[in-house]
Amino acid sequence: MERISQALLARPQVIVGAAGLCVVGAVALVIALVGDERAGMPSARVRLTAEKSPIEVASGQDVFGFSGMDLYQDAAIEGLEGEGMAGSDEAIITLPDGASVSSSGTFSAPVRQPDPLPAAPIAGLHQPGPEGPLPRIAADGRVPAQAYARPFRPNGKPTVALVVGGLGLNAVTTRAAIERLPAEVTLSFVPYADGLQRWIDMARSYGHEVLLELPMEPTGYPNNDPGPYTLLANSSADDVSVKLDWLLSRAVGYYGVTNYLGDRFAGAEGPTGAMMSQLRQRGLAFLDDGTLSGRPGAFARATADRIIDEDQSPASILRQLHALEVQAKTDGSAFGSGFSYPVTVETAARWVAGLEQRGIQLAPASAMTRRGRSS
């Protein structure tokens, strides 16, 4: 043993190598035990917390104040070029009686003051259902189709009604439609919307009467699917009843219902008859966009004369609104239907601004309904 030690001491490079191996082994042992290759090194820890900014839903004024909505403002002006050249800042459509509808870049639809309708629910107009409260005819004969409708007094002028639908899914456009469109414009809400009752309550607080949308089977179903409670063309009367109970129990405060899609459902006499029968028994109006024109039933009925925004351009929408005016002056009344596209809401807000001066009275859609008639 002494000989081995002396031999090693006579070779310093062996001693250095051995020492190195010891150091490497020690480091490897630390890493294996601790799991951090920087263990033992100087370190500092700082706790970082990011501030959570609250999520705010833009108001209708933020989006449809027009002064801040340059995209749609410019689109409206450009879309109306050629309809009446009034310079680069304004475009005009001239009406048959010499009046005009202007698309001025300086137009700003006001936030309208609340003109509340009675708060929902109104006593006696609902009964418990399997999924929630269901509308009914009250014991004293009152019906939702009348109690929840906006009161209307004709002034002798031709009348035009407008329904704007698809509301409740997009908070910004829903709030804009409620705040910016006149109380006489009827608003239609999607039954699947989160916070549906809150939206309906807000709409009624601004004076808007409300419709609830019933999803109906369209051409192309199920690839074109309006949702899990869609009324189908091959439904039995019981199937229609079960789905209606769910749909009608989503909220209270609507005076009637309207279709969402449904061209295939409209052709099925049995299911549509079952639906109309239940609506009639519950005292509800049924208004459609033309898809179910000629189908009688419900407590009261109306069918829109035209959809105003199949072509989603300001010029096209304004032409459709203009056509409603012409029809109203010819027939005494006209009824239009549209979707809550931002361009639809803006164009409608511009259009109604001078409607009274052009000899037209804006009416709620309920004023277009007739008891026991299809339109």
Question: Residue 173: inside a domain, yes or no?
Answer: yes
Report pLDDT for 137: 98
**40 assigned to some structural domain:** no
> What does the alpha-carbon distance between residue 74 and residue 362 come to, in Å, rounded to a whole number?
27
Whether 100 maps to a domain, the answer reads yes
Q: CA 192 to CA 227: how far, in whole Å?
A: 8
DSSP state of 353: T
Amino acid in the structure at residue 149: A
Q: What is the DSSP string of 250-314?
A: S-S--SEEEEEE-HHHHT-HHHHHHHHHHHHHTT-EEEESSTTTT---SSEEEE-SEETTSS-SH
> Quick one: 23 and 65 in the same domain?
no
Q: At 81, list the tokens.
A: 């070029």
What pLDDT, in 10s, does the model give residues 273-305?
A: 999 999 999 999 999 999 999 888 899 999 999
> Which amino acid, 20?
G
Q: Which domain holds residue 20?
A: 2-34
Is residue 17 located within the same domain as residue 132?
A: no
The answer to whether residue 53 sits within a structural domain is: no
Q: Say if residue 81 is in the same domain as residue 6.
A: no
What pLDDT is stored for residue 109 in this prediction?
66
Q: Are residues 293 and 176 in the same domain?
A: yes
Residue 239 sits in the same domain as residue 166: yes
**Is 44 among the domain residues?**
no
CATH number of the structural domain spanning residue 189: 3.20.20.370
The reported pLDDT for the residue numbered 264 is: 97
Q: Within a 10 A sphere around the Cβ of 229, how many other Cβ atoms? A: 16
193 by Cβ neighbours in 10 Å (0-12 / 13-18 / 19+) ranks as: buried
The pair of structure tokens assigned to 145 is: 């189709």
Domain count, the chain: 2
Both 236 and 291 in a single domain?
A: yes
Q: What is the DSSP letter of 354?
A: T
CB 209 within 8 A of CB 150: yes
- Please tell me whether residues 96 and 25 are part of one structural domain: no
Three-state DSSP at 167 gives strand
Please report the pLDDT score of residue 372 as a whole number: 60
Report pLDDT for 258. Answer: 98
- The verdict on 74 and 213 lying in the same domain is yes
> For residue 371, what pLDDT is reported?
87
Give the C-alpha separation, 230 to 240, whole Å.
9
- Answer yes or no: do 299 and 175 share one domain: yes
In the chain, % helix, strand, coil (3-state, to 5) comes to: 35, 20, 45
The answer on 319 and 259 residing in a single domain is yes
Nearest CA among 239, 284, 263 for reference residue 135? 284
Q: What local confidence, expressed as pLDDT, does residue 297 receive?
A: 87
Q: Please report whether residue 49 resides in a domain.
A: no
In this prediction, residue 296 carries a pLDDT of 87
Weakly modelled stretches of the chain, pLDDT under 70: 1-109, 372-375
Alpha helices, H only, the chain:
2-9, 12-34, 60-64, 70-79, 144-147, 171-180, 196-205, 237-248, 263-266, 269-281, 314-331, 342-352
Q: How many Cβ atoms sit within 10 Å of the Cβ of residue 6?
A: 9
Maximum separation of any 2 CA atoms in the chain, in Å: 128
Same domain assignment for residues 335 and 267: yes
Looking at residue 97, its pLDDT comes to 40
Q: What pLDDT, on the 0 to 100 scale, is given for residue 168?
A: 97
Say if CB 314 and CB 343 are below 8 A apart.
yes
Cα–Cα dist 19/241, whole Å: 88
Given the DSSP bridges, would you call strands 126-128 and 361-363 parallel, antiparallel or unpaired?
A: unpaired
Give the whole-angstrom CA distance, residue 375 versus residue 369: 7
- Asked whether residue 19 falls in the same domain as residue 85, the answer is no
The CA radius of gyration of the chain, in Å to the nearest whole number, is 33
